[in-house]
Amino acid sequence: MVKYFRVASKKHKNTTIKTPTRYRKTLRRSNFRMEAVDALLNDGDFHGAYQLLLKGLKGATSPKEHARIATMLGVYHYYGLGSEVNYNYALAYFRLGTDASSKGEQSPNYAPQHAEAFYYLGLMHIQGNGVDANVNKGLSHYRQAAKLGYDEAQYKLGMIYKTGKGVLKNENIAFKYFQEAAHQGHSKAQNQLAMMFASGTGVEKDDKQAVHWYTCAANQGNDIAQYNLGYMYCEGRGVAQSYTEANRWFMKVAEANGYTRSKNVNGDDSILSLV
């Protein structure tokens, strides 16, 4: 749900779309329905979704629901969905989400929501959005989110430890965080993990594992992983050498970056032209 906000914000920022008739009755009900919020967001009605979330927060009957809704409201204000960005409100809601998370009901289905609240608190402290920049406090929130299984926090921590920005550089710890996020399907973490296997950084060199994780990320459309996988096929590292496979992955990268296939004089579908 919250991840949808991040995608939708680019398309509908500062827009207000009339609430569909079929959901107006839902907005007037006192009981909260997450599927109604989903429907409003899918229609681009961020104002209607926001009003429903506010009602849901007031009527939340469990810490789980309270933390989830507070986190969503925080994301709403963080990205300025349907309104201007307001970091103060975002900060307040994220703090509310983490406070609610400490009141019990620690189940696997509960953890992802307040984990995301911890992640955003970390992001705001590191970037200084709505608060004085404090890297140590930001990292503490990131670690809490990562511990609770939030893949983006795991990936960010991997990058922080890999580059040594704000912490002592530690490639072994970086590998650990990339591995955790990669197993959850995070494509950037999968590519980073593959790179570490390919170079023997933070782990024993293993080209087969590198190819495995490059493939996982490439199949999700990660163009850097697609290029790296093409290179592995070209060099025959961790996989049987195949220029055909290498070219297939290189073509995907080219097309993803503004190139399309065009026919050459022999009718071969092998020349690229910039769109």
* 202 in the same domain as 122: no
Residues 79 and 191 in one domain: no
Q: Average pLDDT over the chain, rounded to whole?
A: 82
Q: Residue 217 and residue 79: Cα distance in Å, rounded? A: 27
Q: Are strands 271-274 and 259-262 parallel, antiparallel or unpaired?
A: antiparallel
Q: What are the tens digits of pLDDT across the range 212-252? A: 999 999 999 999 999 999 999 999 999 999 999 999 999 99
Domain count, the chain: 2
Q: Phi first, then psi: what are they for 274, rounded to 5°?
A: -75, 130
If you average pLDDT over residues 157-184, what whole number do you get?
96
pLDDT at 59: 84
- Shared domain for 194 and 116, answered yes or no, is no
Residue 16 has pLDDT above 80, yes or no: no
Query: Residue 102: what pLDDT?
Result: 56
Q: Are residues 7 and 134 in the same domain?
A: yes
Instruction: Tell me the whole-structure pTM to 2 decimals.
Output: 0.79
Residue 80 lies in a domain: yes
Pair 142, 180: CB distance under 8 Å: no
Give helix then strand counts, H and E, for the chain.
Answer: 14, 2
Task: Give one DSSP letter per residue of 237-263, joined into a string.
Answer: SSS---HHHHHHHHHHHHHHTTEEEE-
As a whole number of angstroms, the distance between CA 63 and CA 100 comes to 5
Domain of residue 4, residue span: 1-149
Q: Which helix (H) or strand (E) holds 274?
A: strand 271-274
For residues 114 and 193, membership in a common domain is answered with no
pLDDT class of 12 with cuts at 50, 70, 90: very low
**Same domain? 19 vs 79:** yes
Half-sphere exposure of 147 (CA within 13 A, CB side): 7
**168 Cβ neighbours under 8 A, 6+ residues apart:** none
3-state secondary structure of 172: helix
Q: If you average pLDDT over residues 104-118, what whole number do you get?
A: 64
Confidence of residue 19 (pLDDT cuts 50, 70, 90): very low
Q: How far is CA 51 from the centre of its chain?
A: 25
- Both 131 and 201 in one domain: the answer is no
Residue 273's SS3 state is strand
Residues 128 and 200 in one domain: no
pLDDT of residue 75: 92
C-alpha distances (whole Å) from 11 to each of 14, 17, 205 are 9, 12, 42
Q: Residue 88's domain is classified under what CATH number?
A: 1.25.40.10
End-to-end CA distance of the chain: 34
Q: Which of 117, 196, 119 is nearest to 152 (CA)?
A: 119
Same domain? For 191 and 275 the reply is yes
Does residue 31 register a pLDDT over 70?
A: no
pLDDT in tens, 128-162: 999 999 999 999 999 999 999 999 999 999 999 99
Q: Residue 116 to residues 9, 148, 237: CA-CA distances in angstroms? A: 17, 9, 38
Structural domain includes residue 166: no
70 and 137 in a single domain? The answer is yes
